[in-house]
Structure 1
């Protein structure tokens, strides 16, 4: 069974995905910042865990190395971790907020993708799934910094797909809409359940060998555009 590295696995989509893949027999390496939550996830699923802060570039590159050392090889990388410090007008964001969002939302998945390519090229196979957001397809006021980073990741992921495909490596850019996770301060029951998004990601791992899903966008019924 395939070995999968999932970032942002202590809550939301990443947590639901780690649970689902573990139940299906995948070898899961779950990463997150909160060590206690990771340990609870490990007790629940038997998955491997790595505590890492993706805002720190040395921890990002070390994360992939540690994952390989734990399970021998990584077949699938799911760049799921992301953050948005707050909504604010352009004239209100701080340099610290900008740098933090850049580090987590763009630099970390780019670095992890680079490490995955280096690892997967010799084995002529692999899969990288970048969980982006429908925000990359829109222009919402008060979401300038987050949108910029997600649009940057979307562009990076599209080029990654072209560079990876000749080596047998599949790359998918996922654009999920509103999801009811603790990413938001208030509960949004009208949004998608994280388990539903995890199910979609799991299905991508089981597509026929002669098929690649380059891009996929999906939303809850309450979102129309």
Structure 2
């Protein structure tokens, strides 16, 4: 399959790129870390594109470059996400709010829009949206990040309803605690990025007559 993965320079996206490339898929991996992109390209022979998803113009340009490189797009994996910091509601800044909106909600929405335009004529395709279990909870000091992830989840639900009649599958994923550099300290009790990547691959390998609309998965230490 020809696959575009965002947020590929660390954590889940990095491990997912390596795993899917090892299975023979043609990958375009995107991110902002040029050193990590070069490392991925050397290790997996994938194609890479440096792009800042907080910029709408770069986001669309990146998609067009990826599509041109792949020739066709079978799978879009909206994996990129960020949380600038934890803070009380009265403390967040407009700049932080706008940045999180741009990366966590606007970018995957734009990429999904572009993916639909190339997948609909073929009557097939797969869009996987990696949200977070934060969208299922209400944690203090996480207001902005939670709002964007809940918005992303809502968008993904509507995307599924609009895409599926055209033969395009959409899966919304809600992974729980994952031990990545997204966190300030290591959390060995959480899922590894490799485990999450393996889980996403399993969804890609489901039978053709199965559509996984949503999936919540967590490490054993999390009960909700």
Identify whether the pair has TM-score above 0.5, normalized to the shorter chain: yes
Q: Distance in 2 between matches of 1:206 and 1:27?
A: 15
Q: Distance in 2 between matches of 1:67 and 1:73?
A: 9
Instruction: Tell me the residue number matched to 2:161.
Output: 162
The alignment of Structure 1 onto Structure 2 pairs a total of residues equal to 224
Instruction: Tell me the residue number matched to 2:127.
Output: 128
The alignment's C-alpha RMSD in Å is 0.5
* 1:163 shift after superposition: 0.2
Q: Distance in 1 between matches of 2:165 and 2:141?
A: 39
**Alignment of 1:66 onto 2:60:** no
SS at match of 2:162: helix
Q: Distance in 2 between matches of 1:185 and 1:132?
A: 20
Instruction: Tell me the residue number matched to 2:148.
Output: 149
Q: Distance in 2 between matches of 1:143 and 1:114?
A: 28
Instruction: Tell me the residue number matched to 1:182.
Output: 181
* 1:64 shift after superposition: 1.0
Instruction: Tell me the residue number matched to 1:108.
Output: 107
SS at match of 2:141: coil
Q: Distance in 2 between matches of 1:6 and 1:205?
A: 13
Q: Distance in 1 between matches of 2:196 and 2:145?
A: 20
Normalised by the size of structure 1, how large is the TM-score?
A: 0.99
Instruction: Tell me the residue number matched to 1:40.
Output: 39
* 1:50 shift after superposition: 0.5
Q: Distance in 1 between matches of 2:110 and 2:70?
A: 20
Which region of structure 1 is more displaced relative to structure 2, 132-141 or 62-71? Answer: 62-71
Q: Distance in 2 between matches of 1:63 and 1:202?
A: 23
Q: Distance in 1 between matches of 2:60 and 2:205?
A: 27
Instruction: Tell me the residue number matched to 2:92.
Output: 93
Q: Distance in 2 between matches of 1:22 and 1:144?
A: 36
Q: Distance in 2 between matches of 1:122 and 1:89?
A: 46
* 1:152 shift after superposition: 0.1
SS at match of 2:212: coil
